[in-house]
Amino acid sequence: MSSVVTRVLDDSFFNTELVAKGCNFYNATMGFPETSLAGAFNKTIMLHQGTFIEFYGFTPSEAYNQTFRVSNPTSGDSTLEYPEPGTGGLFYTTLSDVLVQFDGPLLLFDYAVASVTELEILHDQTIIVDDSNTEIQWGGNWEEKRNYTLNRPLGFQGGSWGATVNARPHGNGTHESDKVGDYFIFQFQGSSILVGGITPQNRTDPIYQVVLANISELSSFDNFHLKLNFTLDGYSQAAVFTGETISQPVGTPHFPYFQNDSLAEGNHTLVMTVDDVTGNTSVVIDYLTYKPSFATLKDKPIFPPIILNGNSTSSPDPPSDPPPGPRSNTATIIGRSGKYASLTGGDLRIHQQCPI
C-alpha cells in the first residue's frame, strides 16, 4: 500500500499535437497524434533526485508500431516497447531526466503522475491519491482488487482507422463494495476534491461489446440503483446512479462519483457511505484528487485517524457556513448527454455517450 505523494500532469502539460475530448480520459482530454506525425508529444522531463514519473494512456493496437524512443543525457538514446498492445493504463516509468518521444502512430496519451519532493512548490498543482494509499481509511467489507482489466472495451475511430482497446484502472487496482454501510474517510488540506472510479454497472450483464459501425448498439441495458452519501465537513449530499441516467458508459474509467472545486482553503474531511444497492451493482473507487493548500510537502499536515460512531464521526464540528456546492440530503440524479466525443480540429470519434 502506497503513501507516496504524487501530482498528476494532464496531457495539456505536454506538447501534444492534437487534443481529443471524452469522458473516459483523465480530465476528459487526451493527446492524440495523427498517423502521419512523429509522435504524441516530444517533451524533456526534468526530475528531482529520488523522484519518478509515470505515463498513462492507450497503447497502439497490435497492428501498429509498438516501440517508442527515449533520450537519456547519461546513457544516450534507447528504443523501448509498450508493455502490451491496445491497453489503457501505465505504459512507461522513468527515474531520471529524459527526452521522451513517442513515435506513434495511434498512441492515445492521457496523463502522467510524478512523485513530489519535500520542498517542491505545489501551487496550482493537483495531488492524486490512489485507492491503495494509506491516507484513505476504508471501513466495512470493501474488496480490494489488483492487476485486472475492465470488462468494457472502448472503441475509437478516426479517419481511415479504428481500434478497440481495453482499460485498466489507475494504479492497476480499485476498492469495490456492494454492502450497505461500507464507507471511506479522507482528510486533506486543499481547495477541491474529486472521487474518481469506474462507472457503476449491472455485473450480471454480458461483456459490453463495442460495435464501431452502429452507435445505437452502444446503449446500456444495465438495470440497477446505487445510492451513495457524501458528507463533506459535516454536510451531506446524496447521489443516485442508475443505468439510464449515469453520465458515461457503464464499467468505464475516470467516472466522477463526487466533485467540489470551490472549497475554502484549509482542512477538510470527506466521508462516503454506501446507502442503498439494488440490482447486482457496486461502487468502484479508483483514486481521489485535490488541489493542496499547503505550499510544499514539508507543510503537509498529518491527520489522526477518525473513528465512525454510527452515522457520525469524531471529526471537528461542522463550520457555521457549509462548503460551497450542493449539500442537501436530496438525491442527485447524475444525467446523461448523447453527444459524441470528438477530436479538436480532426475527425476522431470516441463511441460513447457522455458530456463534453
Q: Which pLDDT score is estimated for 22?
A: 52
**pLDDT by residue (tens digit) across 295-324?**
999 999 999 999 876 544 434 444 556 666
Instruction: Give, as one character, the DSSP assignment of residue 123.
Output: T
172 has a pLDDT exceeding 90 = yes
CB 251 within 8 A of CB 166: no
Q: How far is CA 349 from the centre of its chain?
A: 20
Has residue 39 got a pLDDT over 70? Answer: no
CA distances from 297 to 198, 245, 287, 292, 307 (A): 29, 40, 20, 10, 26
Q: What does the block give as the cell for 186? A: 479522507
Q: What is the mean pLDDT of residues 101-126?
A: 83
pLDDT digits (tens, 9 = 90+) for 278-297: 989 999 999 999 999 999 99
pLDDT, average across residues 221-246: 90
pLDDT greater at residue 107 or residue 200: 200
Q: Cα separations (Å) of 93 from 89, 114, 179, 211?
A: 12, 10, 36, 33
**How sure is the predictor about 57, in pLDDT bands with cuts at 50, 70 and 90?**
confident
Mean pLDDT throughout 42-58? 73
What the chain holds in terms of domains, given with CATH numbers, is 6-127 (2.60.120), 129-309+322-350 (2.60.120.260)
Burial of 69 per CB tally in 10 Å (0-12, 13-18, 19+) = middle
Q: What is the pLDDT at residue 50?
A: 65
Region 327-337: mean pLDDT is 33
State pTM to two decimals. 0.80
pLDDT given at position 244: 81
Please, are residues 30 and 344 in contact by the beta-carbon 8 Å criterion? no
**Cα 69 from Cα 66, distance rounded (Å):** 11
Residue 12 has pLDDT above 80, yes or no: no
Report for 30-44, 81-95, 204-218: range of highest mean pLDDT: 81-95
